[in-house]
Chain A
Amino acid sequence: MRYAETGFNLEIDLTRGNIERVETDPGDTELYLGGLGTNAKILWDRVPPEVEPFSPDNLLIFSAGLLCGTPATGCNRTIVSTISPQTLLMAFSMMGGFWAPELKYAGYDKVILRGKSPDLVYLWINNDKVEIRDAAHLRGKGAGETAELIRQELKEPKAQVAAIGLAGENRVYFASIEQGRSSASRGGIGAVMGDKGLKAIAVRGTKDIHVARPAEFMGLCNEVLKYIKFRNENPIEGVMPILAGLGSPQEMAVHDEKWHTENFMWGNSRTRRKDFWNQEVAAKWAETLDKMRTRLISCYNCPMKCGATISAPGLPTYMMKCFSKLTYTMAAMSDLDFGLRIAQRATEYGVDGFSAPQVMAFGIELHEAGILTDQDMAGLPAGNEERFYWLLDRIVRREGIGDVLANGTYWAARQIGKGADAYAHNNIKKHEQLPLKLSMLNPIYFLMYATGEKINITQIEGQFPQAPFATREERAEFVKDWFQVPDEKFKQYLLDWEPRGENSMPHYPTVKMCCDIVDWQERMHYIDDALGMCSGLSSFPLKPPYHIHNYPKFISAGAGIDMDEARLTQAAKRYRTLVRAINIRRGMRRKDEKPPENHWKKRFPELEKELLDTYYTFKGWNNDGIPTQESLHELGLDYVSEDFVKRGILTDQAENAPPGASTEQ
């Protein structure tokens, strides 16, 4: 009997149209948990580095997390993993919504897709009945539109549908997969889906999901619910409002956007508008949001209302995710009315709400600089906002300059030449970052930006305050009920962290402390991604209801796997290292691990070197960021070691070590 998981994957060969239901090895669940962890294992085993993102041999894996479909509040994430056409590394974007639990109820943990369908198709999973169906009539349809049409033609209003829009069909490098009120957007996984000729996956399930020790599991769930209520009633003091509560930043609930609009960059991540937010703007934006926002909505089994249905007059209703609220507005230097309107079209096209606006602003900037000529931009309208609609339409259809921009700023700049790469200035590992340009180097964020392999800061940060509190009293107040820390030492780190003076950034927290803090932050995200938990109730906010102390109990009582904090930490480290191993095998090295040059004005090259050196050692990686044989052995990843030696990525220490060297410490 399998608990929490179903124990079965669907293996779909789109080339041959073959469908198989395959039982999985419970031993893998113990080692890699599920979701991201087991996805990484499958990608390591089955997608060697020679496989290109758009090769039929690339896999596209849709996975529910280990605890999705159990009563654990907020556990509803689908982890989609593949090789990204943009970064050429492993992409593991995720989405909330309702899809993953439905897949579990249908009797599967994962859908593993390989090959390429000769015609556009969609997959219909209805409990034990799984079919590949023609999708010719859905070609060019919007992602949300597709979901509605599929539900109608199947006469199954309760089916959950994950679909791509035009951007995915045309293999735009930042195409998303849209579903419910959520999307898996980062890394261009929608392009891989389009390349495989798969328009959508619809799923309906009416089977049971079991937990191993019901009463104990329910007790844990009740504690979490109670704590969520407590946190909703007691927001954290002394931090900006969006960081005070739980959930993903409550973008759709708040009117006050002073912090984002004055601290994040506008245009192509260039301009800071320090006095932007005034009464007039506040009143106008509040009116816009109140007029267009129909309701605040949630994902499956979660009380946090992080999304909203938006009905802009004259446009179809769509569901908005948190920060897309501002990305289009700010890239176009426009207002909220424009932002909410263009996001409707962008969501139907299925593009990433971070990359797409930045790519368009990059295009406009290149045109202003004369690098893109009037001829390149033939047909560009005169109005600023019309230009963004025009560019969006060109990009998703890969028409004219759109065909170049559809590859993202990094690849587009290389193709355009003429110094365009200086305008693709906000990337890490070829991927567009949040539009932030700051003054003083933050050593914690330096490490997260440099080494995060989800390549998105929101997917590694959290738990630890982003900046020191002003007074010791505030700090003492904060640590008083901070039971989520894995170790008491973190409280001391925070207590001693001052905004100015000796114990301030960049030299405090010390290098060693930064390693501890970043490792904790990253670990919690990786655990979430294996369990299918939303980071909004776990790794992202301050003082979350899920943490390293109750997670092992959830896994034990839920999945029936004997788990404690040490074992869970080890498991997370195992598949985190495996993600790195996949990327190392694809060529990623230390040289790639750097935040954008201009992210901070005040940089400290020596300190940054020390940070990276120390963190690599701390993680068990060598000076080039490659996991060492010794650390791989400790994690039970000798198969990675062997592969690295065979490929010449590592040299065999046992063979090459000078006599006696191995015992020195």
Chain B
Amino acid sequence: MGEKKKKIVKTIKVDVDKCNGCRACEMICSSFHAAPQYSSNNPARSRVRVIREPLKDIYVPVYAGEHAKAECMGRDKYVIDGKEYDECAFCRSSCPSRDIFKEPDSGLPLRCDMCESDPTLEKPLCVQWCITDALIYEEREEEVEEEVKLDDVEMGLESLVDKYGLDKIMETVARMSMSKKG
């Protein structure tokens, strides 16, 4: 069991009623994450996407979360106030089932990092540029159990397990230890 620890939870409150669909959030996100910083922009590289269907009055900024290696077993499709949203519309994952939240050149997954930088920004840039207040930044403190941190060996093993499955890894380790001892 880990110890109790204080943690800052960063939230972007998305008020879709206030979104005007301008996509400044996408633009400034890609500009902030360009290297060197601000040297270029390209909304296709953004870690926030505005799902935007003006004629259906659909405007939903969605942020990139964890990468999913495989797609889900099924899909979801929401209908809210009579508006039907695309399959997986609100999902934050970059996943094999769709092309969003991936670098356009390499296909590598993108993930929102809340504009973590040194010095720390007061708010993520998408929030700063959304002066229509569809995006509001909130921070709160939460007490959480400290995660047990994996060491390097475990981390390496974990990814091997991800790739080949636990049985295969155990079998291989057993065989290797036999032959070393042997």
- Interaction A to B: yes
A interface with B by C-beta (< 8 Å): 69-71, 73, 98, 105, 144, 148, 157, 180-181, 205-211, 214-215, 217-218, 225, 228-229, 232, 294-303, 305, 309, 316-319
Q: How far is the CA of A295 from the CA of B52 in the complex (A)?
A: 13
Given the known interface contacts A298-B21, A317-B55, the answer about A211 and B42 at a Cβ–Cβ threshold of 8 Å is no
Report 12 cross-chain contacts, Cβ distance below 8 Å, ordered by A residue.
A71-B28, A206-B44, A208-B41, A209-B41, A209-B42, A211-B40, A217-B38, A296-B20, A298-B22, A309-B54, A309-B55, A319-B54
Chain B's nearest CB lies how many Å from the CB of A395? 25
Stretch at the interface among B29-37, B136-144, B174-182: B29-37
| Chain B 114-134 per-residue mask, 1 if CB under 8 angstroms from chain A, else 0 | 000000000000001111100
Per a CB cutoff under 8 Å, which of A157, A301, A317 touches B23? A301
Q: Is B165 an interface residue (CB 8 A)?
A: no
The answer to whether B20 touches A297, judged by C-beta atoms less than 8 angstroms apart, is: yes
Q: How far is the CA of A98 from the CA of B52 in the complex (A)?
A: 12
Query: In the complex, how many residue pairs between chain A and chain B have their CB atoms under 8 Å apart?
Result: 94
Chain A's nearest CB lies how many Å from the CB of B2? 41
Closest-by-CB residue of B relative to A205 is B44
The answer to whether B41 touches A71, judged by C-beta atoms less than 8 angstroms apart, is: yes
The answer to whether A210 touches B40, judged by C-beta atoms less than 8 angstroms apart, is: yes
The answer to whether B20 touches A303, judged by C-beta atoms less than 8 angstroms apart, is: yes
Chain B's nearest CB lies how many Å from the CB of A316? 8
Chain B's nearest CB lies how many Å from the CB of A409? 33
Closest-by-CB residue of B relative to A70 is B41
Closest-by-CB residue of A relative to B100 is A158
The answer to whether A208 touches B42, judged by C-beta atoms less than 8 angstroms apart, is: yes
| Chain B 41-76 per-residue mask, 1 if CB under 8 angstroms from chain A, else 0 | 111110000000111110100000000000000000
Chain A's nearest CB lies how many Å from the CB of B61? 14
The answer to whether B24 touches A214, judged by C-beta atoms less than 8 angstroms apart, is: no
Chain B's nearest CB lies how many Å from the CB of A494? 29
Closest-by-CB residue of A relative to B44 is A206
Per a CB cutoff under 8 Å, which of A105, A225, A318, A319 touches B131? A225
Chain B's nearest CB lies how many Å from the CB of A241? 20
The answer to whether A105 touches B43, judged by C-beta atoms less than 8 angstroms apart, is: yes
Contacts of A205 in B (CB 8 A): 44
Shortest beta-carbon contacts, A-B, top 7: A206-B44, A214-B38, A208-B40, A298-B22, A298-B20, A206-B104, A214-B39
Contacts of A211 in B (CB 8 A): 38-40
Contacts of A319 in B (CB 8 A): 54-55
Contacts of A98 in B (CB 8 A): 23
Contacts of A318 in B (CB 8 A): 55
Contacts of A303 in B (CB 8 A): 20, 22, 24, 130-132
Per a CB cutoff under 8 Å, which of B28, B37, B104 touches A214? B37
Q: How far is the CA of A533 from the CA of B139 in the complex (A)?
A: 36
Closest-by-CB residue of B relative to A211 is B39
Most buried by A among B41, B45, B57, B104: B41
Q: How far is the CA of A318 from the CA of B54 in the complex (A)?
A: 9
Contacts of A295 in B (CB 8 A): 20, 57, 59
Given the known interface contacts A71-B31, A317-B55, the answer about A297 and B21 at a Cβ–Cβ threshold of 8 Å is yes
Q: How far is the CA of A318 from the CA of B56 in the complex (A)?
A: 10
In residues 7-22 of chain B, which contact A (Cβ within 8 Å)? 20-22
Chain B's nearest CB lies how many Å from the CB of A534? 12
Closest-by-CB residue of A relative to B22 is A298
Q: How far is the CA of A302 from the CA of B22 in the complex (A)?
A: 6
The answer to whether B42 touches A225, judged by C-beta atoms less than 8 angstroms apart, is: no
Most buried by A among B22, B24, B45, B104: B22
Contacts of B22 in A (CB 8 A): 298-303
Contacts of B41 in A (CB 8 A): 69-71, 208-209
The answer to whether A302 touches B24, judged by C-beta atoms less than 8 angstroms apart, is: yes
Q: How far is the CA of A113 from the CA of B28 in the complex (A)?
A: 32
Instruction: Add 15 more A-B contacts to A218-B31, A317-B57 (CB < 8 A).
Output: A105-B42, A207-B104, A208-B41, A215-B37, A218-B38, A229-B131, A294-B57, A297-B21, A298-B21, A298-B22, A302-B24, A303-B22, A303-B131, A309-B54, A317-B54
Q: How far is the CA of A265 from the CA of B148 in the complex (A)?
A: 75
Q: How far is the CA of A215 from the CA of B24 in the complex (A)?
A: 18
Q: How far is the CA of A218 from the CA of B40 in the complex (A)?
A: 11
Contacts of A157 in B (CB 8 A): 53
Given the known interface contacts A297-B20, A299-B22, A300-B23, the answer about A210 and B55 at a Cβ–Cβ threshold of 8 Å is no
Chain B's nearest CB lies how many Å from the CB of A304? 9
The answer to whether A181 touches B54, judged by C-beta atoms less than 8 angstroms apart, is: yes
Q: Is B27 an interface residue (CB 8 A)?
A: yes
Q: How far is the CA of A208 from the CA of B27 in the complex (A)?
A: 11
Contacts of B39 in A (CB 8 A): 210-211, 214
